Chains A and B, each alone.
Chain A
Amino acid sequence: MPAFLIRRLLTGLAMLLIISALAYLLLYLTGSDIARNLLGDNASQEAVDLRAAELGLDQPLHTRYLSWLGGAITGNLGRSWFGGSDVTSLLMSRLGVTLTLVVTSTVISAIIAIALGVWAAVRGGWIDKTIQVFSLTGAAIPNYLIALGLVALFAINLAWFAPTGYTQPGASLGGWIASVTLPVAALTIGCIAGTAQQVRSSMLDVMRQDYIRTLRSRGLGPGRIIYRHALRNAAGPGLSVLGLQFVGLLGGAVVIEQMFAIPGLGSLSVSSTTQGDIPVVMGVVILIAAIVITVNLLIDIAQGILNPKVRLS
């Protein structure tokens, strides 16, 4: 177990390093003159050169990357080109919002998806068919369209919720719940659909296994078989899909945050992209990569706990 964990941790760090190098290379290796773009065509060449030196753009690329990396390790991701604010504190102010959104969506999705998947697998018949149709449709339709539908129905027609805006949970818990209900619903529907499908098929797989029959032959009732034995064995594939869904949700949050005017990482990445604020874009990319790699690591650990073959080898 510890050796396996350490190996995974090192792989994760290596991946993060490679991603940062690639991202840095691609973001800064443009033909265009960054300082000129920032100052506009009317600026004098001296001013442009001065600005380039100020931003360290006169240094060779690898020196710049190494100094960025050195900063990144100590938690300093540089300064925004627009407004000059510290990238790390900018990211941290947005991170909580996005994480609460995505983690809430993941937890709600997991609970509902497991219930639906098990229900479909065990009951079969029309219940199974209905859940499958929902899964297929929910997973196929992009989540911003689902959000659009929810806004049109619940915010515009019924006026139950404000169509946009965000209330900090610290300011008003009720207000926060009201402001994230539609975004979370939009994110979860697709996630539930995709996960339920997987839970259903891995439950069906497990229920066909020999040991399930043998456990039944020992006189264990359907409840014990399904919830204690089958679900435990089906949890592995379900977790893997949930990990993929989490990555999908992070991407989905970008659009959803923008739609609902939620001040998270997603809307930050949209605004910094439009401005061409490369240090912020770089920060967002590396932070999201770090989150994804951490989540994958956590899932690996959970898989190890679930699966004795992994845990004990």
Chain B
Amino acid sequence: MTAPVLTPAPGAVDAAANNHSASLARRFAKDPIGMAALIFLSIVVLACAFAPLLTTNAPDKAVLGNILADPGNGLLLGGDSAGRDVFSRLLYGGQFSLLGALLALSIAVVLGGVSGLVAGYFGKWFDTLSSAAAAILMALPGMVVLLAARSVLGSSAWWAMSIFGVLLSASVFRLVRQTVQNVRNELYVDAARVAGLSDARIIFRHVLRVVRAPFIIQAASIGSVAIAIQAGLEFLGLGDMTIPTWGSMLNDGFARIYQQPLLVIWPALMIALVCLSLTLIANSVRDALENTGSRHRTRRTRTGRGAAAKTTTHSSNPTVAPAAAQNTGTHNSETPLLSVRNLHVGYHQADGSTTHIVHGINLDVHAGEVLGLIGESGSGKTQTAFSIMRLLPAGGAITDGQVLWGGRNLAELSERELTALRGKEIAYIPQEPMSNLDPSFTIGSQLVEPMRLHLGLNKADAKTRALDLLTRVGIVNPERVYSSYPHQVSGGMAQRVLIAGAISCNPRLLIADEPTTALDVTVQAEILDLLRSIQQEHGMGVIMVTHNFGVVADICDRVAVMRNGEIVETGPASTIFSEHTHPYTTQLFDAILTPDNIREPYRAPNTMKGEVTTP
């Protein structure tokens, strides 16, 4: 009954920040279900409002001959147990049911909205106090409170709905407070404050705009809950018997269910459909919010593809062909560990099309070799790395080409075959250490699980090996880290744990996705040294995804430069450093800070020559 009121997902709230109501309304208008619900609701509201125009029978006029009458004879839906016109009662009853819900909604919105705004924006003692009040209001089922209130206040529907409004204000309060707090900490609100905008203006210009959409969603579901509980009270026979309402009609119908089953159907349908359409409207608004968010994303990738497609037509043939030639030419002729041929990666879009982000690349990695895959963000290097292990996010897939591994094409293996191979033959080291450990399990159990699976070790042996690995990656107190949870270790430590996990089953190829980017500069060098020594110890092949030529210089044997989903240049690391040919590679090199391009210290015009102002 007091079903938890729908709350929009946090993502939806964020997305709302960037949206105008116009585009939201357009999205909503395109959703047939939401629109149908809105139209139905409008018809019900209008029919109830203009009830006198639709029926000439008074809702409480009892005619003996019409008791439990079937539809017909001037009674569109028949007569009730007292011989009153059901159709007329349905319309007039709707007035009270809808107005009652509106009363509850207004109280909830005004009380919860204002207090949520104040608590979220100004915080302090008011926040503490009102949050406690909200917690108390939410601790009791609405029905029980309404029953208690009825025992002293009598059966007035208006009283009941006012009290229910106060109860529901707690959920509005929580939503508004949370949203306002989020917005308050946004940078653009800080900027507005620094710019000297008054609190009132910030609230009206920035905060209210974000709160509005989640507010609509919640208002619709509050309306639905209010109608349901009000009718529920009346259905129990605890409502206001002096006015016609859907709930009292339900009560009357249920009592006569054997004699005239139709009686219960009309009010039940009315309540169910109105509640359902309010929920559907809330849901459609939420969908519209989320879609406007994702549409922005889609548009961005599309422009990305547009740009990439342009480069394809201009430069794909001259660059890819020599790259492939260099690939086989520069290295020894033994068969490579991994061979990527003409790899295309694409994402399925909602409209059925596919957006390509990797356009036919070729790569070879030999045993014992470190291949640097370098490029700026968005160049497709991480997507390439994921597609080799087929770990692309939902919607992403290899659309063409081959990933050859020991005579097998990984692009065509079943998920089961690939699962058996992941971790055991090809392993992965992620970029962001803290988000890549499962927060609910100890580090030890996360290390042990794959080893027991792939190496068939028993619990004790797996633990011994895990402790050895932790020692190997330079962790001083392996026992303690083994039994720690991820949130208890530092980022550098977590990255060492992830390296230990990746090498735990002796893989032949390691794919490292910017393994040092998220770490402190001092830790970066240590991690690279560690990777290098482990790689040499095991003779592993490594694909090192990076945007940093420093990393390349440090550890890579060969380099492939990626741009817009293509490889524009490959060669031995030493050659790339001295004689790169592609203009993009030159551009990447120019971006590196060297002693030559450090700018002169700033001199204030009025200081004497040679005197450097300290920043």
Contact = CB atoms under 8 A, between A and B. Distances in A.
Contact of B144 (A139, A149, A224, A269): A269
B209 interface: no
Given A136-B279, A284-B144, A273 B430 contact: no
Which one of A137, A208, A269, A308 has the highest number of Cβ atoms from chain B below 10 Å of its Cβ? A308
B439 A254 contact: no
Contact of A19 (B140, B153, B278): B140
Contacts of A171: none
Contacts of B250: 148
Interface string A274-285: 101110011011
Contacts of B289: none
27 contacts: A15-B136, A26-B148, A137-B276, A141-B276, A144-B1, A145-B268, A152-B261, A156-B257, A190-B3, A194-B3, A194-B4, A213-B391, A215-B446, A216-B391, A217-B428, A220-B453, A229-B438, A232-B441, A251-B142, A254-B1, A274-B237, A278-B151, A278-B152, A284-B148, A288-B141, A308-B442, A309-B487
Contacts of B271: 142, 145
B141 A247 contact: yes
Contacts of B145: 285
A282 B2 CA distance: 21
Interface in B440-465: 440-442, 446, 449-450, 453-454
The 7 closest A-B pairs by CB, nearest first: A251-B141, A219-B423, A140-B279, A251-B143, A217-B428, A142-B228, A218-B423
Nearest to B139: A292
Given A156-B258, A218-B505, 18 more contacts: A27-B151, A136-B279, A142-B272, A152-B261, A214-B436, A216-B422, A217-B502, A218-B449, A229-B440, A244-B4, A269-B148, A270-B236, A270-B238, A276-B151, A284-B147, A289-B140, A292-B141, A306-B440
A273 B386 CA distance: 64
Contacts of B257: 151-152, 156
A219 B279 contact: no
A5 B442 CA distance: 23
B432 interface: yes
Given A217-B423, A219-B450, A270-B238, A210 B3 contact: no
B40 interface: no
Interface in A261-299: 269-270, 272-274, 276-278, 281-282, 284-285, 288-289, 292-293, 296
B474 to A, nearest CB: 20
B487 A211 contact: no
B283 interface: yes
Interface string A196-210: 000001000000111
A143 interface: yes
Contacts of B135: 15
Interface string B92-110: 0000000000000000000
Interface in A13-42: 15, 18-19, 22-23, 26-27, 30
Nearest to A29: B152
Contacts of B232: 142, 144, 255
Nearest to B283: A136
Given A250-B144, A251-B141, A251-B143, A142 B1 contact: yes
B450 A148 contact: no
Give the one of B440, B442, B453 with max A CB within 10 A: B440
A36 to B, nearest CB: 14
Given A137-B276, A142-B271, A241-B4, A285 B144 contact: yes
Contact of A248 (B4, B279, B437): B4
Contacts of A273: 147-148, 150-151, 238
Nearest to B224: A140
A152 B151 CA distance: 31
Contacts of A289: 139-140
Interface size class of A (residues with CB under 8 A): 35 or more
A214 B428 contact: yes
A89 interface: no
A218 B450 contact: yes
A26 B430 contact: no
Contacts of A22: 136
Interface in A219-233: 219-222, 224, 229, 232-233
Contacts of A190: 3
A285 B141 CA distance: 9
B90 interface: no
A258 interface: yes
A245 interface: yes
A281 B151 contact: yes
A117 interface: no
Nearest to A256: B1
Nearest to B163: A26
A3 interface: no
B141 A144 contact: no
B522 to A, nearest CB: 24
Contact of B152 (A27, A201, A288): A27
B247 to A, nearest CB: 9
A255 B236 contact: yes
A307 interface: yes
Nearest to B261: A152
Contacts of B419: 216, 219-222
A140 B141 CA distance: 17
Nearest to A14: B132
A144 B253 CA distance: 13
A94 to B, nearest CB: 13
A273 to B, nearest CB: 4
A238 interface: no
